[in-house]
Structures are given as structure tokens and as C-alpha cells.
Amino acid sequence: GRVRAMHDENGDVVLEATPSRPVQVQGLSTVPRAGDTFLVVEEDRTARQIAEKREAAERNALLAKARKRISLEDFTRALELAATYLIALAGRARAIAALGDHTAAARDWTRSIEYAGSSNSDLPESIDKMYLERGSAWLATGNTDAALADYAKALEINPKNTAAHIARANTYFKLNDRERMLGEFESAAKIDPYDIRTYIARGEAAERWGDTRLAIESYMIAAKTNPRGSGQARQALKRLGVDKMP
């Protein structure tokens, strides 16, 4: 503000306030605090700038004092809650899918993906797996376009996701696209030639397609690749009349 007049304790006008001399000042816009330094400047603009800086400093001090202190324990607890929420969503999505409501399952996977995308913490479920699971839910509803889009997103995030290639192969089977189906199985086998899931899935698709030769070939590869873990492939070979097992 601008000092318009000063009076001493007797009400007389004074022109100067020496150190420790009390005076009444007229013209200030706010009441100064004890200990504030009075600065005399020639221009109003300079005075306003000084006042604004002081007000900003005071506001920041008040905000800092009012702001809640967050400890490391608080952050840890928040991360635990985030992980628990995602685990609960994923569990509910799988349970709902098991009951046959795949549309509702897809909605829960959508919530999981959105929540995971906004989280900076380590996730109990990888995002590419969430897209893969949502794609499977869409496929169960007959929405092959949405399923293929989610499988593509899963592979974009993790190009070595063999399960996504297998899922795409099964989708192309539903679309009667044999060439693309076989291409996806081939891509999965190149990523991990020891993953027998690829050969078993290809054998099952070949059986449904009516290609017994390819089905036997696929199951044989699975049985040879992992003799101990290929019980499903051996059973399929017996079903197809193959007596000699690898």
C-alpha cells in the first residue's frame, strides 16, 4: 500500500518513524506482521511486485504445513492395495468366465487393463496377459475382431508371447482361415520350439479340421519334445490309432 499519513501516540502527525518509535500508519491495505521489514520504493509497480512475492511465499508456507506427510510405509501400503485390487479383478474375471458370462469377464479385464495402465507399481498380472485373457473372453462371445485386436496388442507388448500366437491360430480356425491358422502355429513354434502347447493346439485344430495326418504329426512332435509332460498328446495318438509311441 501507500503510506498516506503517520501519527504518534498523541495523534500528532509525524514525518519520520525512527527505530523503536511507535506510529500509526494510514494507507496500508493489510496489517503487517510483527517483524516485517518496511521497504520504501519510488514506484507503485515495484511495491506491488514485492507484496505479491511475499504473499506467494506465505501461501506456499501454509500449503506445505497443511500438506499430509506420506511415509514409505504409506507408499508400500498403497502398492499392496493396488496389487490386491488387480488380483481381485483378475480372479473375478476368471470366475465369471467359468460361469459362462464372457461379456462381463471382458468388462472386468478392461477395468484391469485400465487400472494397470495408470499404475506405476509392479503388477501381479502382466498387461500382455490381461489383453490375452480379454481376447479369449471376446472370442467366447463370438467377437473375433475384438479378440484379434487384443491378441495383437498382447504381441505388441510382448512379441515372444507364444500363447497369443496360439490364441490367434484358434481364432483363425473359427474363421475358417487355415493358412493364417498354420502361420500362427509356426510363429509360436519358432519362438519356443520346446513349448508342447503349440503342437497340441495344432493337433487339436487339425483333428477338428479333419486333417488326421497333420494331427498325428503334431502330437508326435509334442510327445518327442517332452516325453514326461506329453500325456495329452499320447492319449490323442491312441485315439487316432497310433500304436507305436515315440
Model confidence pLDDT, tens digit, residues 52-67: 777 777 776 666 665 5
Q: Which has the closest alpha carbon to 2: 42, 58, 53, 57?
A: 42
| pLDDT in the model for residue 222 | 92
Angle at 216 between CA 212 and CA 218, to 5 degrees: 115
In this prediction the pTM is: 0.63
What amino acid occupies position 208? R
Which pLDDT belongs to residue 106?
94
**Which residues, given as ranges, of the chain have pLDDT below 70?**
1, 29-30, 32-39, 41, 47, 60-82, 119-125, 229, 245-246
Distance CA 188, CA 197 (A): 9
Residue 220 burial (CB count, 10 A): 21
pLDDT for residue 123: 58
Q: Tell me, what's the pLDDT at 78?
A: 57
Cα separations in angstroms, 29 against 26, 58, 218:
9, 16, 88
Q: Answer whether 150's CB lies under 8 Å from 131's CB.
A: yes
As a whole-number percent, the residues of the chain with pLDDT over 90 amount to 43
Residue 156 and residue 127 in contact, taking contact as beta carbons nearer than 8 Å: no
- Report the chain's mean pLDDT, rounded to a whole number: 83
